[in-house]
Amino acid sequence: MTRRIVVVTAGLTVPSSTRLLADQLAEATQAQATARGEALAVDFVELREVAAELAAFMVTGGVPTPRLTELRELVASADGLVAVTPVFNGGYSGLFKMFFDALDKDSLTGTPVLVAATAGSARHSLVLDHAMRPLFAYLRAVVVPTGVFAATEDFGSHGLSERISRAAAELAALVLSQDGYGVGGFVPDLAARPRRTSGTQVEADVTPFGELLRGHAGDNAP
């Protein structure tokens, strides 16, 4: 069975250090899965390509375009997620936050997530623990122990390569955990996790609006 991860990257330029880090994380995670005899497919989501659609989603009260609907379903059905953002003003980018605000609140429940960030200075490394982990904890995702931060001078260094390999191993282990793999002896039962939803489908058991209004006279009388 081929598992699938989605890599969400919020880089704004081409080329982008954020996309470069995302590529390295995806490649390392695939390599870890291959080493375990498993196949792992990767889908990339470049947020700059849907920036205008995300802005429209926010100002129209949450009406998604067909492309956003497709991306929401893609994320909700993934076996794992890699989330990479550049750092602006000490936190994740507004574009990054807009995308995760546009997801259904249950779309990442129990999903293994690897968080990563890029910045021009190592002074911003706390963004992983002070901003990104709380965001995905709120979304009830399972964030892997190792986050990956890369300042400009880190690219090409042995230390960054080690962090990428360690984080990728942790993510691959969680994604493949239904086959008996786990991180630090912990093997979550992903099959038993709460139901995930993309927010794009109407529930079959929705109560008809007419029934909800049955007996209501249309005034404000008690």
- Is residue 25 in a domain? yes
CATH number assigned to the domain comprising residue 64: 3.40.50.360
Q: What is the pLDDT of residues 60-113, one digit of tens each?
A: 999 999 999 999 999 999 999 999 999 998 899 999 999 999 999 999 999 999
- More confidently predicted of 54 and 201: 54
Question: What is the number of domains present in the chain?
Answer: 1
Is residue 62 a part of any domain in this protein? yes
pLDDT > 90 in the chain, percent: 76
- What was the pLDDT predicted at 160? 97
What does the pLDDT read at residue 190?
47
Please say whether the beta carbons of 151 and 20 come within 8 A.
Answer: no
The β-bridge partners of 9 are 46, 84
Tell whether 220 is covered by a domain: no
Token couple for 196 = 């995930």
Residues with Cβ < 8 Å from 65, sequence gap 6 or more? 53, 56, 57
Residue 130 lies in a domain: yes
Mean pLDDT over 126-140 rounds to 96
Q: What is the pLDDT of residues 105-130, one digit of tens each?
A: 999 999 999 999 999 998 899 999 99
This prediction has a pTM of: 0.82
pLDDT at position 218 is 59
Tell me: the pLDDT tens digits for 27-59? Answer: 999 999 999 999 999 999 999 999 999 999 999
Cβ 145 vs Cβ 182: under 8 Å: no
**One-letter identity of residue 83:** A
Position 218 in a domain:
no
Q: Which domain holds residue 60?
A: 3-212
> What is the SS3 assignment for 128-175?
HHHHHHHHHHHCCCEECCCCEEEEHHHCCCHHHHHHHHHHHHHHHHHH
**Alpha-carbon span 188 to 143, nearest angstrom:** 12
Could you tell me if residue 157 is inside a domain?
A: yes
Q: Is residue 16, in this structure, part of any structural domain at all?
A: yes
In order of 68, 101, 151, 162, 164, the CA distances from 156 in angstroms are 34, 33, 11, 11, 12
